[in-house]
Amino acid sequence: METQLARPAFLQSDGPVLLQGAMDMEIRPYVEALQDPVKTVLGDFVFWQGRLGRQRAVLSRTGIGTAAAAAATALGCQVFRPAAILNQGSAGGYGLKARVGDLVIGTSVYNGNAVFTDKEGVRYLDLGRLEHETAAAAVFPAKPPLLEPDAAMTRWLFAGLSAYAGRVSQGVIASSDQWNDDPDLIARREALTGALCEEMEAAAVVMTAARFGVPCGLVRVLSNNNRTGQPFDPAVCGKLAAAVCRLFA
């Protein structure tokens, strides 16, 4: 007999969950599942309000990349006052054992756009520390600093998605406005950072959510693996959506 997952505190508040996907293929399955949808367009950003099962939800098609994701998150937080943000979608796998359709729940994410370069090579920036304009902020590490989504949301996602028909892993997500198709580069990134996959929005969403004080969770489904040559499969977005919707049933 299936037991119902305990609802965490952020799902028991009055605010909705802001559920994000960068592309139409990543958000359309949720729009189709949404009850009593009401569409709102703000500039080029589209939001849908309604219910996913028992949960009030606002769906957001953020657009691709860090700039679009940050802007959509800020708009969503300001206009809809969400209790939590769930940033989900597709990603490219890194590991040799990573398979298309696997899930990655982000325990941390790094901003691959925040780099410092000199004659010694590439190092990484902590943008939050730089804003404080201290001497310590000018120490640039060889490994990227990690941003952490909300720990309670991460635990809830891992517990709720453990029955997914595929491998579910937890770990680091690489996030930047880059699309890497070089197996050697991917292997080096994996060795340096421990990243399980790469995508283009999660770091911006986590940083923006923190500015608004809204807890945020991250989950990605692997849609391809350019290191092992597994081709892109958009159908996996529907598999992830079905699993996430069951969390709100």
For the cut 70, the answer to whether the pLDDT of residue 5 exceeds it is no
Work out the pLDDT band at 115, boundaries 50, 70, 90.
very high
User: 3-class SS at 141?
Assistant: coil
pLDDT at 14: 85
pLDDT, tens digit, for every residue of 12-66? 788 999 999 999 999 999 999 999 999 999 999 999 999 999 999 999 999 999 9
State the average pLDDT over residues 198-203.
98
Q: What is the pTM of this model?
A: 0.95
Q: pLDDT, tens digit, for every residue of 166-177? A: 999 999 999 999
Structure confidence by residue, pLDDT tens digits, 55-110: 999 999 999 999 999 999 999 999 999 999 999 999 999 999 999 999 999 999 99
CA distance 142 to 246: 41
Note the pLDDT of residue 1.
Answer: 42
Q: What is each CA distance from 186 to 6, 7, 147, 220, 246, in whole angstroms?
A: 38, 37, 20, 17, 33
Q: Please tell me whether residue 42 adopts helix, strand or coil conformation.
A: strand
Residue 4 — pLDDT band, cuts 50, 70, 90?
Answer: low
- Cα(99)–Cα(149) distance, integer angstroms: 24
Please give the residue that has the higher pLDDT: either 2 or 161: 161
